Structure 1
Amino acid sequence: MPARPLSIHPRSVPSSRNSAADLPPVEYRIRPANPGAHLFEVTCTVHAPDPDGQVFSLPAWIPGSYMIREFARNIVRLSAQADGEPCAVDKLDKHTWRAAVPPGTKKVTVDYEVYAWDLSVRSAHLDTTHGFFNGTSVFLAVAGRTDGPCLVTIDKPEAEAFRHWKLITALPPEHGRAGDAHRFGRFRAADYDELIDHPVEMGEFTLARFEAAGVPHDVALTGRHDCDLDRLCADLKRVCEWQIRLFGKPAPVDYYAFLTMVVGDGYGGLEHRASTALICSRADLPWKGMEGLPEGYRTFLGLCSHEYFHTWNVKRIKPAAFTPYDLSRENHTRLLWAFEGFTSYYDDLALVRSGVIGIDDYL
């Protein structure tokens, strides 16, 4: 069969209105209830639920990582209440549940725990040093309401040991703009797709900021490191500004965040609409007094460049097979060469075109 054509989805095109958009927002609350046991506690509240029974599901995969992950396997407990009273919940398949809705019910709330012990960019991780999650791992989709608005409250762990924890995400706060503050609280999303496309990092991370084409960009480093933040920000600024010029100003975002987990030995990245989740070896970060461009640092810059390029290619220039995503099963496409191949071609090319590396280093 011929490959499906690419569909262009510029940020300025609004989503169509439907009944879900006219209903009250779906409300989520997530709390690092027990960091030592790696457990997030989550609630999902639906006002005006489906009278035939409200269906909930968790994605089987995350956009950008094209494998079935079955995130629902990490839900270790789930119960539901209708107007505060316990109600029956049936599990329909491995990632779908239906809560009974008695006549006259005004709201249904589902409470569940998520085991978060995957130190990667595609899932969720929680311990006494930090917390990280993608929405696909923790937020249930509400059948019939995925096109409507969402509100999410993210709580800080309660113990005194976590008093210095802060939070970073490109998800905008309920009041204000993304990146204005790095604190816990209430956040908003236009729909479920936006909700799950903004990863969250919490802990005592190191934070640095630079501007590219007038857009604030934050770099958050979680974990032990000795990074020269001035050097890192200067190099990333050049790469980001070159890519913005390549696709044309203005940038498609008002704020961008590089959420980076620094480990002894690791490498990986996952793109999102206004941020990227990264994992890198601490030896791959620049250090003060560093001369030249060591191979490890060049590799890390190439990773950042790759994920940043996805801000356009895949996030805003999408295969038709992904519009919309069906996160319950595989989405078949023959266009991996376009949205990963093109991006891989440009990641290191952006380093040389922006002047971060020389042509001899590139060749």
Structure 2
Amino acid sequence: MGSLTHSTAPALVGYVVRALDLQAHLFEVTLTVAQVEADQVVSLPVWIPGSYLVREFAKHLQGLQARQGNKPVAITQRDKCSWQIHTKAGKALVLKYQVYAFDSSVRTAWLDTQRGFFNGTSLCLRVHGQEDTPHQLGLSNEGLPKDWQAATALRAQRVSKRGFGDYLADSYDELVDSPVELGAFWRGEFVAAGIKHHFIVSGASASFDGARLLADTQAICEAEISFWHGRQPQQAPQRHYLFMLNAVHDGYGGLEHRHSTALICKRADLPRHGQAKSGALSDGYTTLLGLISHEYFHTWNVKRLRPAEFARYDYAQENYTDLLWFFEGFTSYFDVLLLRRAKLIDNAHYLKLLAKTINQVLQTPGRQLQSVAQSSRDAWVKYYRQDENTANATVSYYTKGALVALCLDLSLRHSGKTSLDAVMRALWLRCQGGPMTQDDLLAVLADLSGQSYAVQVQQWVHGTADLPLKKLLKQHGIHYEEESASRLDQLGMKVSEQQGIRVKSVLRASAAEQAGFAAGDEWLGVATGQGKTTQRWRLNKLDDLATYLGSDTSCRALVARDQRLLTLPLNLPDTVRSVTLTVADTQPVNAWLDGKRPA
């Protein structure tokens, strides 16, 4: 599925990847370097761009061997992820090694009897000093079932009908930014704004409606290309694109790449034959389409227009930026909004999803401690390493970042001069689809609106005060109502209900914290009433609480902690609020959601 464009430059660094052992989950990689330096250094990345956590991919590399000609070459490991090969300069070097692949996420590598997948950051050693030379990737079908295919967004050189053969990348960056899917997957394609898009799905059941997924994805892609380039879709940066979706029993996630994206979803969330194609989408399918919209929007926002700190990736350590609130948060704002503009959801559905985001932020105590700029920089140690205290100490740059985008968009529209749509397009032109800073954003905001937004950005992005959501939404025809949250939200805890009720986290100053609940507690039951009216109930799931409490707002909770049985006094005061959004004035709502220029 790579483009058939041929590079005229010879590949100086070449990899051949084959499945060494499906049952043992082992890939074998043969790396050939045409000419090397004396004592050549090679390394494996410790992280993958788009997922801000040091994951130590080298822990799965084994059996590294080196040869020049017919002679073995000594290897010295320099640190956790790099090796010095004691080579003679100017001669060809051949490295061979294996990689254990048993992580089903979109970030690493997987291999079993049903499917194969890998990112180059997990399999491809970087040859220091030759990162900007052409790289070749050979995909071997040796040892694979006969019905397996291969797919990648890399440019094809000599490739079979099933996708096996040689692919070319202009650099190491392009090589490792092009994941590979292997298996007996479903495949389809469509054209959006003149650009060919391929879609492959692994793990789908027989009920999967591929035609509907293609049609809905096409609508998303056309809406996003139009968003960025208006009546000049030929200016879109991608000449081809590949969606790679792995459907599993329980999973969710996506990772953006320049010409492709790797996605994972619940199998039950796929569209099914026989489902009505009119009316509201199911929650699960809407979630999938939102994920597709999000990752495709990244084609512009983060893969090309990106933080200045990411102008050149350092694969050996963390790459810090304060701007994930923009690149992930603004993408999270537009991903659902563009579902509305693609006519896949209506106004009511959009407002329901927006209210969900608002409630997530307002019910996160950490928003009062951490700004979204701090959240961006802390991603390496906090966002991807969540624990029982995460919600109390942090705020998500995805959700609050989306609300910052909302506030900017509504503020700009209220001025009557511009919109966030126009700001994004102007940023694309100003930065030439490349590195940008917060100063670039401030300059464009001032240029298009005629006023400075420095104070708003300082307060909303670098401060911890709540955003002026109610005021701005009311100005655009939205009825913003705060009402008492559900009994379960009043508790202020998150639980696992796999085997009984196990407390995962307790929110700061919540009813659960005041009662004395702690992460790890097993909630066994409740006692209601007093004296002769006392009733004791076993809890099997959290929903049982509302049934047993009735109109009561207090009870005694029986929990097990470290093999001790504790009785905790639980009161549910009416303090946690939930926001609902409805249309009060159709005209301004449609003007905003349709993306019309402010009058």
Shared fold (TM-score greater than 0.5)? yes
> Which among 37, 41, 62 is matched to residue 48 of structure 2?
62
Secondary structure of the residue aligned to 1:37 is coil
- 2-side partners of 1:48 and 1:154: how far apart? 22
Q: Which residue of 2 aligns with 1:295?
A: 283
Higher relative contact order (CA 8 A, sep 6+): 1
Residue 304 (structure 2) pairs with residue 321 (structure 1):
no
Query: Deviations for 1:40-86, whole angstroms, at most 9, x for unmatched residues?
Result: 000111122102x1100000000010111110000021111112311
Residue 176 (structure 2) pairs with residue 201 (structure 1):
no
Q: Which residue of 2 aligns with 1:267?
A: 252
- 2-side partners of 1:205 and 1:157: how far apart? 18
Q: Which residue of 2 aligns with 1:167?
A: 150
**Aligned-residue identity in percent:** 48
Instruction: Report the Cα offset of residue 211 of structure 1.
Output: 1.1
Instruction: Report the Cα offset of residue 216 of structure 1.
Output: 1.3
Q: Which residue of 2 aligns with 1:35?
A: 22
- 1-side partners of 2:226 and 2:70: how far apart? 53
The aligned amino acid for 1:173 is A
**Greater Rg by CA:** 2
> Which among 97, 101, 108 is matched to residue 112 of structure 1?
97
Q: Looking at secondary structure, tell me which structure has more strand per residue.
A: 1
Q: Which residue of 1 aligns with 2:68?
A: 82
Query: Deviations for 1:100-128, whole angstroms, at most 9, x for unmatched residues?
Result: 1136x611111110000000000000001
Residue 103 (structure 2) pairs with residue 129 (structure 1):
no
Aligned residues: 336
The aligned amino acid for 1:114 is V
Q: Which residue of 1 aligns with 2:264?
A: 279
Q: 1:229 to 1:93 in 2, by over 3 A?
A: same
Residue 36 (structure 2) pairs with residue 49 (structure 1):
yes
> Which among 221, 227, 231 is matched to residue 201 of structure 2?
221
The aligned amino acid for 1:227 is F
Secondary structure of the residue aligned to 2:54 is coil
Query: Deviations for 1:141-173, whole angstroms, at most 9, x for unmatched residues?
Result: 0000001111111101325xx011111111111
Residue 95 (structure 2) pairs with residue 95 (structure 1):
no
> Which among 205, 219, 223 is matched to residue 242 of structure 1?
223
Greater Cα offset, 109-118 or 246-255: 246-255
Root mean square deviation, CA, Å: 1.6
> Which among 154, 158, 169 is matched to residue 189 of structure 1?
169
Secondary structure of the residue aligned to 2:200 is strand
- 1-side partners of 2:313 and 2:209: how far apart? 39
Q: 1:175 to 1:157 in 2, by over 3 A?
A: closer
Q: Which residue of 1 aligns with 2:123?
A: 138
Q: Is the 8 A contact 2:115 2:184 kept in 1?
A: yes
Instruction: Report the Cα offset of residue 184 of structure 1.
Output: 0.3
The aligned amino acid for 1:204 is A
For structure 2, list consecutive stretches of 5 or more residues without a partner in the other structure: 1-7, 352-599
- 1-side partners of 2:78 and 2:97: how far apart? 16
Q: Is the 8 A contact 2:36 2:88 kept in 1?
A: no
Query: Deviations for 1:200-259, whole angstroms, at most 9, x for unmatched residues?
Result: 001100011111111111111111322111111111111100100111122211211110
Q: Which residue of 2 aligns with 1:211?
A: 191
Q: 1:121 to 1:24 in 2, by over 3 A?
A: closer
- 1-side partners of 2:42 and 2:297: how far apart? 33
Q: Is the 8 A contact 1:23 1:48 kept in 2?
A: no
Q: 1:165 to 1:337 in 2, by over 3 A?
A: same
The aligned amino acid for 2:50 is G
- 2-side partners of 1:351 and 1:175: how far apart? 38
- 1-side partners of 2:306 and 2:346: how far apart? 32
Instruction: Report the Cα offset of residue 182 of structure 1.
Output: 4.2
Secondary structure of the residue aligned to 1:239 is helix
Secondary structure of the residue aligned to 2:244 is strand
Instruction: Report the Cα offset of residue 268 of structure 1.
Output: 0.4
- 2-side partners of 1:175 and 1:224: how far apart? 29
Q: TM-score, normalised by structure 1?
A: 0.90
- 2-side partners of 1:280 and 1:24: how far apart? 36
Q: Is the 8 A contact 1:207 1:218 kept in 2?
A: yes
Secondary structure of the residue aligned to 1:262 is strand
The aligned amino acid for 1:183 is G
- 2-side partners of 1:285 and 1:23: how far apart? 42
Secondary structure of the residue aligned to 1:280 is strand
Instruction: Report the Cα offset of residue 25 of structure 1.
Output: 1.4
Q: Is the 8 A contact 1:56 1:96 kept in 2?
A: yes
- 1-side partners of 2:191 and 2:11: how far apart? 36
